[in-house]
Amino acid sequence: MRLSRRPECVGPEPLTQAELLALRGVKGDPVASYQLKDLLPPDNLWGVTRAADRLAYAIRRQETILIIGDYDADGATSCAVMVEGLGLLGASDVRYLIPNRFNLGYGLSPELVDLAMAEHPGLIVTVDQGIVSIDGVQYAKSLGLDVIVTDHHLPGEQLPIADAIVNPNQRGCSFESKNLAGVGVAFYVLVALRQALAASGALPETGARLASLLDLVALGTVADLVILDNNNRRLVQAGIRQIRSGRARPGIKALIDVAGLDGRVLTSQQIAFNIAPRLNAAGRLDDMSLGVECLLAPTHSAEAQAQRLDGLNKERRRIEKEMTQQANQWLPEVAAESIQGLFGVSLFDPRWHEGVIGILAARVRAQCSRPVFIFTEVDGELLKGSGRSIEGLHLRDLLVEMDRDCQGLLQKFGGHAMAAGVTIQKRDFESFREKFNEFSALALQGRVLDETVISDGLPQTFDLVAVAALVRDHPWGQGFPMPVFDEQLEVLEQKLLAGGHLRLKLLSPRFEEVLEGIFFNRDRVIESRMAHFVFRLDVNRFRGVDRPQLIISHCL
């Protein structure tokens, strides 16, 4: 691991909060830049007018509208947003269906359409999926169904023959933010529908309450790790404000409670690391319909739903720990063979759980600083892989290049720049491993593949008020990273905790102040009295009392 400070942070004086924000593109009053009134309008979102008109027609005709989602947190929140939003806008019969990861797989497949027919829909609306569901949409159309696709994933060369496609990443779409999550696209479709209904004089009074969906939009946007550009930060911060004011829906309140958090000071980081994993656990281990049920639950049943998700998350963590230990046995072997010769890493073990291989891929990538695919067996002949990339390598585009060069190797694939999925024949694993390494080497030619941590230098202060403002006033996340600091600190006390974490008491020589620190996934003590730590700042609220805390990532 290499530590590198930003050029602006190499001087003797720490940067102020305003200077740290300026490095992330926020100029002037940051609170003003998060205002919902400045949200981009839906006008330039290609296909949204056609989708709104078809939905308005379905509402007038009182058709059954079936929402078909995806099995991750973005898919679940997208589904809940569309179900509740269409209800607010006058739809009388809105239902939903979530494909099961283990027997139906991703997207609107013909098999899923057959299941959908049991609901007798007049209109199918996909959320967070559908842009690559060529066969499924065609099959639905052959059965006489209308289909609206709302998605944010990258399209392939061919688009489905849907009645409307709303996706900021489709060719010809001039919408300024290409980083909307699936839940953001769903919300924008509802905003356009509200405008269409208002223009025709058919908007019900409840249509004014669409902003009440923003807690779901914030959760799904943060959970899906999309880039928090200006527009997404407005959506997320508006949703967080709603949660903090006590106006979150019962299911989200229950998830906050079961995670042991205080919703009045909830942050985007807590959504990412505490709330989203509990929601995602449903799709990883069971059925994401459980997650949607929690998000839509009334007060009297929300707590039980959240407790069930919490139990699934505990089981997910147990499985993940076991899989990580197995993968860690592999890493020293690679080191012995010189990992410097590898550019892309592929691992396979039939024991690994299909729902957790993505998390394991992220863990291994962090350890070896290379793009990684983790495979498990899904039947006797096929392997399913989940990949995670590093900065500068677009994983989905790399798979496109592999598919062109090695036709027949990839049975199915799709994804984003940083994450992708692929299905291959079991017999082709060694070929995939060789080709993935080869194509990664071409894409990363000239790159030094050691982990580099970028620091914002010394913290200006450890004062509680200043730290709380830094942590809580901004929607930190992907593409808008929370400041990372580094400093020499004295180790006063340390204790290993259950679960493999290290708790510390540290002394800052600059301020002569004793600080609390937590070093997650550290299973051994710090040997030296003085150490150079890399950390971000946080506020630990315990029994209503706030204390500044260091979240330590590295000890140099």
- The string of pLDDT tens digits covering residues 249-269 is 999 999 999 999 999 999 999
Q: What is the mean pLDDT of the chain?
A: 92
Closest by alpha carbon to 77, among 241, 247, 252, 229? 252
Residue 363 near residue 369, CB atoms below 8 Å: no
Question: What CATH class does 456-555 carry?
Answer: mainly beta
> Could you tell me which of 484, 437, 452 has the C-alpha nearest to residue 369?
452
Tens of pLDDT, residues 94-153: 999 999 877 777 789 999 999 999 999 999 999 999 999 999 999 999 999 999 999 999
More confident residue, 335 or 523: 523
Residue 356 burial class via C-beta count within 10 angstroms: exposed 0-12, middle 13-18, buried 19 and up: buried
Q: Which is it for strands 164-166 and 345-348: parallel, antiparallel or unpaired?
A: unpaired
Domain 34-311 matching CATH 3.90.1640.30: the answer reads: yes
- Give the span between the Cα atoms of 20 and 44, in whole angstroms: 32
Write out the H or E segment, with its range, that includes residue 263. none
Which one, of 111, 115, 101, lies nearest residue 133 by Cα? 111
Residue whose entry in the numeric block shows the structure tokens 């830049």:
33
CATH 3.10.310.30 fits 338-443, yes or no: yes
Query: ∠ CA 182-187-188 to the nearest 5 degrees?
Result: 100
| pLDDT attached to residue 313 | 95
Closest to 222 in 3D by CA, of 243, 249, 208: 243
Contact call for residues 371 and 344 (beta carbons, < 8 A): yes
Summarize pLDDT for 221-235 with one digit per residue, the tens.
999 989 999 999 999
**What does DSSP assign to residue 248?**
S
Q: Which two tokens stand for residue 447?
A: 């790159």
Contact 99, 109 (CB under 8 A): yes
- What whole-number distance in Å separates Cα of residue 68 and Cα of residue 75? 9
Q: What was the pLDDT predicted at 332? A: 57
What pLDDT does 326 receive? Answer: 79
- Residue reference for tokens 């197995």: 326
pLDDT at 53: 98
DSSP state of 273: I
The tokens describing 198, both together, are 């208002």
Longest dimension (CA), the chain: 73
- Between CA 456 and CA 461 the distance in angstroms is 13
pLDDT band of residue 339 (cuts 50, 70, 90) is low
What length does the chain have?
556
* Cβ neighbours of residue 152 closer than 8 Å, sequence gap 6 or more: 128, 167, 168, 169, 180, 181, 182, 184, 185, 226
Each residue of 281-310: pLDDT tens digit? 999 899 999 999 999 999 999 999 999 999
Tens digit of each residue's pLDDT (9 = 90 or more) over 179-228: 999 999 999 999 999 999 999 999 999 988 999 999 999 999 999 989 99
What single DSSP character describes residue 154? P
Say how many Å lie between the first and final Cα of the chain, rounded.
Answer: 9
Torsion of CA 216, 309, 179, 125, to 10 degrees: -70
Backbone angles phi, psi at 64, to 5 degrees: -80, 120
pLDDT category at 480 given cuts 50, 70, 90 is very high
Residue 31 one-letter amino acid: V
Q: Rounded distance, CA 422 to CA 236, Å?
A: 30
336 pLDDT exceeds 50? Answer: no
Question: What pLDDT does residue 415 have?
Answer: 80
Contact 51, 123 (CB under 8 A): no
Say if pTM beats, i.e. exceeds, 0.85.
yes
Q: Is 503 helix (H, G, I), strand (E, B) or coil?
A: strand
Strand partners, 386: 374, 421
Tell me what the mean pLDDT of segment 435-456 comes to.
87
Question: Rounded to an integer, what distance in angstroms lies between the CA atom of residue 445 and that of residue 82?
Answer: 44
Of 26, 106, 114, the closest CA to residue 74 belongs to 106
Query: Considering only CA atoms, which of 264, 246, 262, 258 is closest in space to residue 312?
Result: 258
Do 128 and 151 touch, CB atoms closer than 8 A?
yes
Whether 532 and 555 have beta carbons less than 8 Å apart is answered as yes
Amino acid sitting at position 262: D
- What's the pLDDT score for residue 330? 65
Burial label, 37 (beta-carbon count in 10 A; 0-12, 13-18, 19+): exposed
Q: Distances in Å between the alpha carbon of 22 and those of 15, 30, 35?
A: 10, 9, 18
Where do the domains of the chain lie? 34-311, 338-443, 456-555
Find residue 546's DSSP bridge partners.
541
